[in-house]
Amino acid sequence: MSDEEHQFESKADAGASKTFPQQAGTIRKSGYIVIKNRACKVVEVSTSKTGKHGHAKCHFVAIDIFNGKKLEDIVPSSHNCDVPHVNRTDYQLIDISEDGFVSLLTESGDTKDDLKLPTDDALLKQISVIWLNG
Amino acid sequence: MNGSSDLGQLHATMQAIEFACSSIQINVNPAAAEATILSLCQSPRPYQACQFIIENSQMANARFQAATAIRDAAIREWSFLSPDEKKSLISFCLSYVMKHASSPEGYVLSKISSVAAQLMKRGWLEFTAAERDGFFSEIKLAIVGNHGLDVQFTGINFLESLVSEFSPSTSSALGLPREFHEQCRKSLEQDYLKNFYCWAVEAAQSVTAQITNSDAAVSEARVCATALRFMLQVLNWDFSNSSRVVKNSIDVFSFVAKEDSNSSYTLVQPGPSWRDILITSGHIGWLLGLYGVLREKFSSKAYWIDCPLAVSARKLIVQLCSLTGTVFPSGKYFSLESYAGVSQGNHLVQLLSGIIEWVHPPDAMAKAIECGRSESELLDGCRGLLSIAAVTNPVSFDDLLKHIRPFGTISILSALMCEVVKDLMTKDMEEEPWSWVARDILLDTWTTLLTETNGSGVKSLLPPEGINAAANLFALIVESELKAASASEEKEEYFQASVAAMDERLSSYALIARAAIDVTIPFLTRLFSERFARLHQGNGINDPTTTMEELYSLLLITGHVLADEGEGETPLIPVAIETRFPEHMETEKHPVVVLSWSIIKFAEQSLDPNMRAAFFSPRLMEAIIWFLARWSSTYLMTVGEMQSCKNSIDEVTLLRMQNSRKALLSFSAEHTQGKTLLEIIVRISLTTLISYAGEKDLQDLTCHQLLGGVVRRKNICAHLVTLDSWRELAHCFTNDRVLFSLHASHQRSLAQTLILSASGIKNSVEANQYIRDLTSHMTAYLNDISGKKDIKSICQQPDVILGVTCLLERLRGASSASEPRTQKAIYEMGFSVMQPILKFLEVYKDEAAVVYLLLKVVVDWVEGQIIYLEPHETALVIDFCMHLLQLYSSHNIGKISVSVSSSLQSEANAEKYRDLRALLQLLQKLCTKDMVDVSSAAIDDQQTSISQVIYVGVHIVSPLITIDMLKYPKLCYDHFALLSHMLEVYPEMIPKLNHEAFSHISGTLDFGLHHQDEEIVGMCLRSLSALALYHYKERGGGRDGLGPHATTYKDANGNLQDGILSRFLRSLMQLILFEDYSMDLVGGAADALFPLILCDHDLYQRLGNELVERQPNSVLKTRMASALHSLTTSDDLSPSADRLNMRKFRKNLNRFLIDVRGFLRII
């Protein structure tokens, strides 16, 4: 059973290689977007207009993929937004230690031991059960 | 609390209830109090206690609760009560309300009389006519006034509740089939309704003198108002003979068509038996007189207009206007001399003479309302006009008023409307002024008058003055709309007032405009040219927004006037435009051509970048595109004949009309300017797609309405594919990344449109080549990306994701455009991306949006292709689909998300749900191969068995569908639709399923049986029926049937478990006997239950015996036993599952349930 973890290293300054510009009108629900220098997943997009004969604007509601906080932004739909490059890495779970840390196997064959098990009890139990059953 | 209990105990009960009621009122321990009251309702035979409380309690609330308890208990236990008990309960209620008619607690009285009404309905079919009359003779005496005003009032009140109980839409639930309600309704209508009406009239007339003679409000007024209200209620009754009578009668008023329009009037068609009381009795004269006298008398008192008597009188008068059908003698509509006061015309004139007082003169009335007079009388006047319009045609509508006034009804209608529009111009919409309501009613009236009915054609639409009135009115309306447009411009806030929102209002305006089309078209042309000139004059200096907003409104209005909404069909040219310009034979001078050309010329200016930046805002472009879409679907390259009109017109006029029509059409015909116009339209569309980035609404209109409409017609496609502009659009689509920024659904629609235009290419090889050229950029790119070595890291880049999703959307669009002729090219397109799709499913497994898109591409492609495929192709496609399913399943089964955010978590669930739904759809689409197959292969050499495929599919998909997932209604629906289809069509596959998959299926069936959605339960019942029938038939043939699934087995703990069919027999019996469900499901339940019983007769016997044993006393035991007996034997039911027996069993089950459910559910 694999466990996931998001990796996003440009929290402080959105470095050029870590984000891509994309027209706001093309960003869709469940895509990604950078708002206030945070990588977020878009959960709601709506368009509105400014004044009767103005141009359309996109209103994004997005959720920070690391801390789960809700963020909002309004961008003219023909302007560009930053879209983060989100990487997912799968690790194989090798062990659960007594203190709640997990031991994970990376694709290159190394182990990664600095992650803790999630704190949600139900989930914790579920993971342990699956782990024990192999 | 039994019948034999003594006085003390009754007292104790009363005190307990009183205590509970008072503690509810002061909110002390409400739960306990409610439980006390509920226990009274649920206790067996609480009648004596309840009656005791009603008679003796000082507390109104307690009496109210006791009445409720009587109702609940009696409805529940009705079948145990002896006839005498039933009658005594009803007469107890009736005599109580009569005795206490003057009691101040009105709500208790109306509750008790409604209890009486409900009980009376419950027993209605059991009582003999004499018994019913026995009740009603009392009521009649009360109503005609023998016992005083209060009793009179109470009597009418009782009739009100009775009639509303008997009217199906307002009746309360009795737990009986619909037929019962229907029978009661019929019986009441036939035998009693008219008498009731007479009594009410009598009651109202008996108090008239007192009311008119007294200066203040008297209590007689209350009786009169109630009687009038009751009469209105009777006239609102849904008379059963109405529809049939209308269709047979040869009447000048063809209101059949009008009934469809959704205006707020109902036609009252009680039939000839009501003629004496409604028409010839003269009570209308009395009613109008009464209202007139009182109106005069209280003219100084503003409150009177809104007092109950006035309101009910007006409502009744308006309702009487809707009277129509065979209640009037057939033959002459108007006959002043011979039958004075009988014909419909006279009837309407009489009513109108009363109503006209409320609205005439309109300007004075409007002013009075401004000064604080109540508007309700004026509004009722408008409603009266609406009702009259519904039963007449325009000419006779106009004539009505001429009998009593020097002007016609249409003049007063348009004068009223003008006042209303004027008032609206000065008002703020947010306060919802009276003129707003009035405008809607009056617009409805116009729509009703002007909507084409089958018979009326060219000339008779409006009389000449009517046409003038309509022209003036339209001018005023346009003025007010333009004023509103320029005024609202300053407001900052913009509420998505989309083009469609005002549609309804605008189409009524268009009807008015078409009534005077020869005046209104030149008028609109003038308005446009003024505005165009103003734009150019003020170029760059003045702020153009006001003019732009005015143009926006004008475009919408003009679009509605010139053309109808096609709703997917090809709309016809409006009759008015075809027939009302016989003097215009030259194309260039035809008013409609002049108007259309000026607008298209204006729209063409948007191609110039400078002009575009200066004037053509996205919003204005929306109106332009909308107009072009509407115009082109009606006028562009239109062929076909003139609509035939039934009215007899002389040959010369007809010829001139045809010539004028030809002149109009030759403006945009294929051989004249049609191609040029089409070129302009395509260029404008291309501009909106490229130069208005991110304007979703605008691009939506362009893709779906304009382009989608254009390619719908084959003759246009033939020209389209030869146009430079169309080629440019195709080139842009394949090569220009700008179009990547279109919204997903627009990508799809654009791809679909381009592909569909291939139908215009005559040569099928060329057509296929055209499609290959269009699609090769997608397949090439997708193949290229998926073939890269570092695909894993590249694919996560946002720009790659964007590219891939765009192309997949286009693939989807292209797939859904497959047509027989171009199927080959589309198949190749899909075939070439099979491998990339599997690859992408792998690398994008965490990118939910892409995964969903991939699945949808496959679903759409399979849907378009499956029926054409040859056997080897089918095998390939099916292999691919199975691969896809397996891959998806391996990524997703048992997946747990550790997301911190609950909203991301629920997002993830929703995504999963959408995926699963797509997978189910894929399986469903594959199923259709068995139904429709147009490939050249003979049936025998079908190599892949679809049933096999579906079952493999179900094995893969069903573990993914958890009970939690089934809480998404659409997924649930799809799942059970597939399941029931599968079980009905391929039951032979069931025994081959492994235990896990099978128990999953039976588990979901169990879940579905108790679902609240009726349709889902229905599908589960069908599945069950299919399962059991299959098993039964196989067993009958000496085979294994469902095999191990149907037999009892030992589970892991060593307990004996029933086979599946026996389990379902148990749970189905439990469901139909003890649980809540809709009576509509009984048929389906019977179909499932019968084969289940046949499969396991022993178990059924045992269950039956258990049921009998569980009854508390011997009476019930015998009843239960005999009901069970007749369930399986009556009507010569024989134990074999053929159609005839199934039908009989349906009937038996219905009877059985009516018989026993009542008492089973109490105990």
Nearest chain A Cα distance for residue B743, angstroms: 6
Question: Of the ranges A103-117, B209-223, B620-634, B776-790, which one carries the lowest mean pLDDT score?
Answer: A103-117
Q: Do A4 and B846 touch (CB under 8 A)?
A: yes
**A-chain residue closest to B843, CA distance:** A88
**A-chain residue closest to B802, CA distance:** A26
B1124: in domain: no
| B88 contact A CB<8A | no
Q: Return the residue matching tokens 């107009």.
A: B627
Q: Do A30 and B744 touch (CB under 8 A)?
A: no
| Statement: residue B899 has pLDDT above 60 | no
B226: in domain: yes
**B-chain residue closest to A44, CA distance:** B907
pLDDT at B1036: 82
Number of domains in chain B: 3
**A70 beta partners:** A63
Nearest chain A Cα distance for residue B796, angstroms: 7
Q: Mutating which of B856, B901, B902 best tests the A interface, going by the most A Cβ atoms within 10 A? A: B901
> Which range of residues forms the domain containing residue B30?
1-80
Nearest chain B Cα distance for residue A20, angstroms: 6
The residue among B798 and B627 whose pLDDT is bigger is: B627
**A-chain residue closest to B844, CA distance:** A88
B794: in domain: no
Nearest chain B Cα distance for residue A101, angstroms: 15
Residues B137 and B235 in one domain: yes
Residues B181 and B65 in one domain: no
Residues in chain A closer than 8 A to B843 (CB atoms): none
| B131 contact A CB<8A | no
Query: Model confidence over B572-604: pLDDT tens digits?
Result: 888 888 888 888 888 888 999 999 999 999 999
| Statement: residue B426 has pLDDT above 50 | yes
**A-chain residue closest to B893, CA distance:** A1
Nearest chain A Cα distance for residue B693, angstroms: 5
**B-chain residue closest to A6, CA distance:** B899
B888: in domain: no
Residues B567 and B702 in one domain: yes
**A-chain residue closest to B489, CA distance:** A52
- CA B754/CA B731 separation, integer angstroms: 11
B785: in domain: no
Q: Mutating which of B552, B553, B622, B903 best tests the A interface, going by the most A Cβ atoms within 10 A? A: B903
- CA B1069/CA B1085 separation, integer angstroms: 9
Considering only the beta carbons, identify the residue of A22, A56, A127 that sits closest to B695.
A56
Nearest chain B Cα distance for residue A112, angstroms: 18
The percentage of chain B sitting over the pLDDT mark of 70, rounded to a whole number, equals 89
Residues in chain B closer than 8 A to A32 (CB atoms): 798
Question: Of the ranges A116-120, B7-11, B268-272, B843-847, which one carries the lowest mean pLDDT score?
Answer: A116-120
pLDDT at A5: 42
The residue among B428 and B424 whose pLDDT is bigger is: B424
Domain A19-84 in this protein, CATH class:
mainly beta
**Taking a C-beta distance cutoff of 8 angstroms, is the pair A51, B494 a contact?**
yes
Nearest chain A Cα distance for residue B792, angstroms: 10
- CA B925/CA B864 separation, integer angstroms: 9
Q: What are phi and psi of B340, to 5 degrees?
A: -60, 130
pLDDT at B494: 40
DSSP-assigned states of every residue in B12-40: HHHHHHHHHHHHHHTTSSHHHHHHHHHHH
Of all helices (H) and strands (E), which one includes residue B413?
helix B409-426
Q: Do B618 and A87 touch (CB under 8 A)?
A: no
Residues in chain A closer than 8 A to B693 (CB atoms): 23, 25, 77-78
**A-chain residue closest to B849, CA distance:** A30
| Statement: residue A6 has pLDDT above 70 | no
Q: Is the peptide bond before B836 cis (omega within 30 degrees of 0)?
A: no
Considering only the beta carbons, identify the residue of B695, B798, B894 that sits closest to A85.
B798
- Over residues B1131-1141, the mean pLDDT reads 80
- CA B1127/CA A15 separation, integer angstroms: 78
Residues B94 and B56 in one domain: no
Q: Do A53 and B802 touch (CB under 8 A)?
A: no
Confidence grade of residue B330 (pLDDT, cut at 50, 70, 90): low
Distances (CA, A) of B1133 to B893, B1094, B1105, B1136, B1147: 49, 12, 20, 9, 11
Report the candidate in A23, B800, B853 with the shortest Cα–Cα distance to residue A33.
A23
CA B490 to chain centre: 37
Residues B7 and B144 in one domain: no
pLDDT at B1: 42
Query: Model confidence over B113-146: pLDDT tens digits?
Result: 999 999 999 989 888 888 888 888 888 888 887 7
Nearest chain B Cα distance for residue A96, angstroms: 16
B208: in domain: yes
Q: Which long-range contacts (CB under 8 A, 24 or more apart) does B238-242 make?
A: B238/B167, B238/B168, B238/B169, B239/B189, B239/B268, B239/B269, B239/B270, B239/B271, B240/B185, B240/B186, B240/B189, B241/B269, B241/B271, B241/B326, B242/B267, B242/B269, B242/B270, B242/B271, B242/B325
Q: Do B693 and A4 touch (CB under 8 A)?
A: no
Average pLDDT, chain B: 83
Residues B717 and B615 in one domain: yes
| A61 contact B CB<8A | no
Distances (CA, A) of B249 to B269, B345, B448, B956: 12, 17, 21, 62
Residues in chain A closer than 8 A to B848 (CB atoms): 30
Domain ranges of chain A: 19-84, 92-133
Report the candidate in B767, B872, B878, B870 with the shortest Cα–Cα distance to residue B825.
B767
| Statement: residue B662 has pLDDT above 60 | yes
- Over residues B1034-1045, the mean pLDDT reads 76
B932: in domain: no
Nearest chain B Cα distance for residue A35, angstroms: 15
pLDDT at A119: 63
| B490 contact A CB<8A | no
Task: State chain B's maximal CA–CA distance in angstroms.
Answer: 102
Q: Which long-range contacts (CB under 8 A, 24 or more apart) does B368-374 make?
A: B369/B434, B370/B423, B372/B302, B373/B302, B373/B305, B374/B302, B374/B305, B374/B306
Whether CATH 2.30.110.10 fits A92-133:
no
Residues B136 and B193 in one domain: yes
Residues B51 and B132 in one domain: no
**Taking a C-beta distance cutoff of 8 angstroms, is the pair B234, B197 a contact?**
yes
Considering only the beta carbons, identify the residue of B488, B619, B903 that sits closest to A43.
B903
B403: in domain: no
pLDDT at B540: 56
| A84 contact B CB<8A | yes
Q: Do B741 and A23 touch (CB under 8 A)?
A: yes
Residues B207 and B62 in one domain: no
| B549 contact A CB<8A | yes
| Statement: residue B257 has pLDDT above 90 | no
Give ipTM to 2 decimals.
0.76
Residues B56 and B107 in one domain: no
Distances (CA, A) of B348 to A127, B319, B416: 80, 11, 19
pTM of the model: 0.79
Residues B589 and B726 in one domain: yes
Query: Model confidence over B806-852: pLDDT tens digits?
Result: 999 999 999 998 888 888 999 999 999 999 999 999 888 878 888 99
| Statement: residue B8 has pLDDT above 90 | no
| Statement: residue A15 has pLDDT above 50 | no
Question: Of the ranges B498-512, B627-641, B654-668, B1038-1052, which one carries the lowest mean pLDDT score?
Answer: B1038-1052
Q: Mutating which of B843, B846, B895, B900 best tests the A interface, going by the most A Cβ atoms within 10 A? A: B900
End residue of a domain, out of B51, B80, B109: B80
Residues B12 and B130 in one domain: no
Q: Do B798 and A130 touch (CB under 8 A)?
A: no
Query: Model confidence over A94-104: pLDDT tens digits?
Result: 777 777 777 77
Identity of the amino acid at B733: F
